[in-house]
Amino acid sequence: MTVKNIFLSVAIPTPLRCLFDYLPDKNTNHKILKPGLRVSVSFGRQKNVTGFIVSINNKTDHPEHKLKRINNILDDCPIINTEHLNLLLWASNYYHHPIGEVIHNALPALLRKNISITNYEDSFWSLSKNNSLPNVNSKKISPTQIKILGHLKKSKVSISQFDLNKIFPGAKRSLNALEKRGLIRKETKKNSSNLVKINKRAVKLNKDQKKAINTVCNSINNHSVFLLDGLTGSGKTEVYMSVMDIVIKSGKQCLVLLPEIGLTPQLIQRFKDRFKVDIAIQHSGLSDIERLKYWQDAKTGKAKIILGTRSAVWTPLLNPGIYIADEEHDLSYKQHNGFQYSARDLMIVRAKRDGVPAILGSATPSLETLNNAVESKYIHLVLPTRAGVAKQPKYQLLDIQNKKMYGPLSQMLIDEIKKNLELNNQILLFLNRRGYATHLYCHHCGWKAQCNRCEIPLTYHKSNNRLNCHHCGSSKKNIKDCPLCKSELLRLGHGTERIEEVLLEKFPKVNIARIDRDTTQKKDSMNIFLDRMHSGNIDILVGTQMIAKGHHFPNVTLAAIVDADRGLFSTDFRATERLAQLFMQVSGRTGRGKKKGTVIVQTYNPNHPLFHNLIKHGYNHLAKSLLKERKLSSLPPHSHMALLRVEAHNIEQVKYFIKNASMRLKQLSGDTLLLFGPVPALIEKYGGRFRYQLIIQATNRKLLHAHLDKWLQKIEKMKNSKKVRWSLDIDPQNMN
């Protein structure tokens, strides 16, 4: 290839589903051109857009004289390797999402910018050889500088600037000042200590844990997927850690995905106590620069463990050894806007491409995963009992029809709370609705407080005396009287604020706390609550689903589902599965320590077979009968689904678009696909827009995707495709 006929196929973050050809700039040495390099290009009216070289070719489909030159190359060497690039291409293909946006989504924020990566290189600091600590009374040395010197003196290895900045905010200036005086010195590359020390586990494994660990370790160098199916508290995390121990000792890396709510300081501490290795932890609280550092540590192999929520699945690894997703059924693994990918599914794809094992852990596996286990595509490992001394909780269904109620709480539940308080135990009350009252209603004329844009009832929040729309977030001042007839408005339907109020009345002397999105806005507030709960400073914890998952509070003996009926009669085909999962998750919060736990379920439908099935036979039994139902109606996992979501202010445009799109898909696919629509979304109106869907089902996944590819090109050209907002969701997890 001479410089003359080199064409760069560049991915650019735009909704257009293609790559863009550019010419190298005149000064470029063509030998350094490689896929995986970022380039600065002009695109449309923008002068400096960050593009990404996907391939280098000697042909182009475009007239050569029309091609622009790139402005310059941003990196010295590719920021990701070919394997990782291929994964991104695969994802773009599978989710039918534009490659430019897929790559953009997969990179840490700083790499999306039009800046060279060397600007972000970390530096490492240590004391100069002939340094003796200066006279502390010296006027020219600041208190921070003295602290930094003291810190460096204690350490045997050089310390990263990122880390110093964390301990001493704004350390950069002090470091430069100290360097000028010759007291400390800088290295750009760390003479890495590569410390790998793994502590012995603190518990003695039971036979089921041993069996699970042995099974995984027997095929540690091959790809298989393991479903680790164990009750909450059955010791799954111990199993992950024992397997990771082996992987790390063999010099490889572990990627562990956790649901958004699962990445708690307690869990992080457990990993840190066990593994004295570099751990890259990715969560939403990180600064951009920390995020980049962890990303690079993973890429260079320095970090042996990568712990993170959904987006951590995009972390490049030098030497992958195992992939783990805890609570694999959790909905937070699916991104619901923009690029709608499933981190759990992608993780399995990665494990397969890398030829290493993947573990999916859950107490309530999703039906997709369970079905793969039933069909022997996954290896099913079971931990049937709680680890240590903890026993399974006892269930109590409380029929609240015609019973004395205090707001949402029955007298019977209040009595039980009292009993548990007297024994100095902790209590957890779960209600998946925040605010005080879910409806404001005029008994006289029938007026209801509604969001104008979403046509759903507004929720009254007592804490700030406002009416909020829980869909679009709009909010207005509370009103007491009906705007039409001036009668006093009734407050109906209960939220977590109301429970808290009743408890304060009934138990004025105990510590009550409420965890929901309203009380956890501030950074760290969740952790403060969790600390208080662990130290016994909270007696009764009220909360939404945020408290249902994952937490280990050994002193909780009573967990109550305040309103179990929501979800019993939903039209979403996944509603029963979700309700059963939630039911089990809440029950998993009680009786985790030495004391026996109780689960109380308040319901108007105490005879509903779902509850009896769950209590008597457990989740797996119920899940298997749900799988049979799905088979009879050819629903996932017994078919493959895609969803075309369409929304606009004008309802006719929305329906017209779907009918038209549906017709075109029918023409392409004949009878091979099942099409339903336009059907209204479960949230039919949102922020003033009407929302409808086309449901697409197929028995053959390959065929489905082949048709979708051709179809998308057609829809993009359809006349009113610019007048509506539309997106395609592959393997949708909700019909909202």
**CA–CA distance, 261 with 457 (Å, rounded to integer):** 28
Give residues 448-487 in contact with Zn ion (rule: CB under 5 A).
451, 453-454, 469, 471-472, 474, 482, 484-485, 487
Nearer to Zn ion, 474 or 625 (CB): 474
Is residue 669 within 8 Å of 628, Cβ to Cβ? no
Identity of the residue, 419 or 466, whose beta carbon is nearer to Zn ion in the bound complex: 466
**Partner that binds at residue 235, options ligand ADP, Zn ion, none, CB closer than 5 to 8 Å by kind:** ligand ADP
Query: What is the spatial order of strands in the sheet that 184-187 belongs to?
Result: 159-160, 124-127, 184-187
CB of 319 to Zn ion, least distance (A): 48
Residue closer to ligand ADP, measured from CB, 271 or 686? 271
With CA atoms as reference, report the closest residue to 322 among 292, 348, 296, 301: 348
Residue 471 near which of ligand ADP, Zn ion, none (CB within 5-8 Å, type-dependent): Zn ion
Give me the least distance between CB of 519 and Zn ion, in Å please.
Answer: 22
Reported residue count of the chain is 736
| Number of residues engaging Zn ion in binding (CB under 5 A) | 15
Pick the closer one to Zn ion by CB: 295 or 692.
Answer: 692
Q: Choose the contact partner of 203 out of Zn ion, ligand ADP, none; CB within 5 to 8 A by kind.
A: ligand ADP
- Residue 234: name its binding partner from Zn ion, ligand ADP, none (Cβ under 5 to 8 Å by kind): ligand ADP
What's the min distance (Å) between Cβ of 191 and ligand ADP?
Answer: 36
Candidate ranges 176-184, 339-347, 443-451, 618-626; the one touching Zn ion (CB under 5 A): 443-451
- Interaction partner, residue 206 (ligand ADP, Zn ion, none; CB < 5-8 Å by kind): ligand ADP
Which pair of structure tokens corresponds to residue 585? Answer: 């998750």
Query: Does residue 168 touch Zn ion according to CB under 5 A?
Result: no
Q: DSSP 3-state assignment of 660?
A: helix
Which does residue 230 touch among Zn ion, ligand ADP, none (CB within 5 to 8 A, set by kind)?
ligand ADP
Q: Report the nearest approach of ligand ADP to the CB of residue 207 (Å).
A: 9
Q: Is 444 among the residues that bind Zn ion (CB under 5 A)?
A: yes
Q: Binding residues for ligand ADP, per CB under 6 A?
A: 203-206, 209, 230, 232-238, 387-388, 552
Using DSSP, state whether 270 is helix, strand or coil: helix
* Closest residue by Cα to residue 284 from 266, 323, 258: 258
CB hemisphere CA count around 179 (13 angstroms): 14
- b/e sequence 170-196, b meaning 16+ C-beta within 10 Å: ebeebbebbeeeebbeeeeebeeeeee
Closest separation in Å from C-beta 237 to ligand ADP: 3
Choose between 386 and 494: whose C-beta lies nearer to ligand ADP: 386
Instruction: Tell me the closest approach of the beta carbon of residue 685 to Zn ion, in angstroms.
Output: 8
Q: Which is nearer to Zn ion, 418 or 486 (CB)?
A: 486
Residue 675 partner contact from Zn ion, ligand ADP, none using kind-dependent CB cut-offs of 5 to 8 Å? none
Write the DSSP string, 494-521. E-HHHHHHHHHHH-TTS-EEEESTTT--
- Of 472 and 694, CB closest to Zn ion: 472
Q: Which of 269, 374, 245, 258 is nearest to 321 (CA)?
A: 245
CA 648 from chain center: how many Å? 28
Residue 469 interacts with which of Zn ion, ligand ADP, none, CB < 5 to 8 Å by class? Zn ion
Closest CB to ligand ADP among 205 and 610? 205
E-only strand ranges, 432-555:
437-441, 459-461, 466-468, 475-477, 490-494, 512-515, 540-543
Among ligand ADP, Zn ion, none, partner that 472 touches (CB below 5 to 8 angstroms by kind): Zn ion
Burial state string for 481-493 with b = 16 or more CB within 10 A and e = fewer than 16? ebeeeeeebebeb
Give least dist CB 203 to ligand ADP, A: 4
Closest to Zn ion by CB, 175 or 469:
469
Q: Which residues contact 281 (CB under 8 A, 6 or more apart)?
A: 263, 268, 294, 307, 308
Q: Give the span between the Cα atoms of 397 and 295, in whole angstroms.
A: 48
| Residue 719 interacts with which of Zn ion, ligand ADP, none, CB < 5 to 8 Å by class | none
Q: Cβ 452 to Zn ion, closest distance in Å?
A: 8
For residue 233, the partner it binds in Zn ion, ligand ADP, none, with Cβ less than 5 to 8 A by kind, is ligand ADP
Question: Looking at beta carbons only, is 534 or 552 nearer to ligand ADP?
Answer: 552
- Least distance in angstroms from the C-beta of 480 to Zn ion: 12
Residue number, 3 or 445, with CB nearest to Zn ion: 445
Instruction: Select 274 or 685, whichever has its Cβ closest to ligand ADP.
Output: 274
Distance of alpha carbon 373 from the chain centroid: 23
Q: Shortest approach of Zn ion to residue 681 CB, angstroms?
A: 14
How far apart are CB 223 and ligand ADP at their closest, in Å? Answer: 24
Q: d(Cα 280, Cα 678) in Å, to the nearest integer?
A: 45
| Binding site partner of 484, from ligand ADP, Zn ion, none, Cβ cut-off 5-8 A by kind | Zn ion
Side chain identity at 469, as an amino acid letter?
C
Partner whose binding site includes residue 425, from ligand ADP, Zn ion, none (CB under 5 to 8 Å by kind) = none
Show the beta-strand stretches assigned E in 357-406. Answer: 358-362, 379-383, 394-399, 405-406
- Structure token pair of residue 715: 């829809």
- Candidates 598, 238, 234, 599; CA nearest to 384 is 234
CA distance 546 to 538: 16
Q: 8 - beta bridge partners?
A: 22, 56
Q: Exactly one of 90, 447, 573, 604 binds Zn ion (CB under 5 A); which one?
A: 447
CB 486 to Zn ion: min, Å: 7
The SS3 assignment for 526 reads helix
Q: At closest approach, how far in Å is the CB of 453 from Zn ion?
A: 5
Regarding 348 and contact with Zn ion (CB under 5 A), the answer is no
CA distance 547 to 530: 10
β-bridge pairing 512-515 and 320-325 = unpaired
Positions that interact with Zn ion (CB under 5 A) = 442, 444-445, 447, 451, 453-454, 469, 471-472, 474, 482, 484-485, 487
